[in-house]
Amino acid sequence: MMCQLTSVALFYLLVRPVSRSVSLLAACVGLAGCTIKTMSRLFYIAPLSVLGGEQYLAVFTPEQVRALALLLLEVNDIGAGIALAFFGLSAILKGYLIVRSTFLPRALAVLSLLAGAGLLTFLSPALGHRVFPAVAAMGLLAAAPQILWLLVVGVDERRWREQAATADASI
């Protein structure tokens, strides 16, 4: 999640000249997704405590302890699904910002929009879990080119500066 948080912050700074309000909204939605995902991970770790055999758990039958551990894992899955829906909205906003930018290729926007639409399937958890393999593949196919493009090619600095100057002049 630290890498995701860093990515959200850096992308905000990169696309802020395109639209301050939309880039801030995308960052806030992305940060909300990171927070939800991080908090849901507590329920992923909690079964270790429940199954640890502590003395105070002796009041429960072994079946009850196992059921509680499974319930905690289910809560983790639900939280992760909610976070994915937030990441989907963030990806759609990023795609919009890339389309409106003059310094990034539109192909990256199309990939981001497709990945975001896939992640929004988690607004219906049953549907999201059913199509998760395809959604995960699309997410990787969208993220990898964007990361590689930014690391290897970067942005058109002249166009970024022009768009930033135009944005600053309009404030």
Tokens of 4: 């995701």
pLDDT at 162 over 80: yes
- The mean pLDDT of 131-154, rounded to a whole number, is 94
CB atoms within 10 A of CB 43: 18
- Enumerate long-range contacts of 108-114, CB under 8 Å, 24 or more apart: 108/145, 108/146, 108/149, 111/141, 111/142, 111/145, 111/146, 112/142, 112/146, 114/138, 114/142
Q: Return the pLDDT at 53.
A: 82
More confident call, 133 vs 170: 133
In which band, very low, low, confident or very high, does the pLDDT at 118 lie, cut at 50, 70 and 90?
A: very high
Cα separation, 77 vs 44, in Å, equals 8
Query: Domain segments of the chain: what residues?
Result: 2-169
pLDDT at 171 over 90: no
Q: Residue 12 in contact with residue 27, Cβ under 8 Å?
A: yes
In which band, very low, low, confident or very high, does the pLDDT at 56 lie, cut at 50, 70 and 90?
A: confident
Distance of CA 129 to the CA centre of its chain: 16
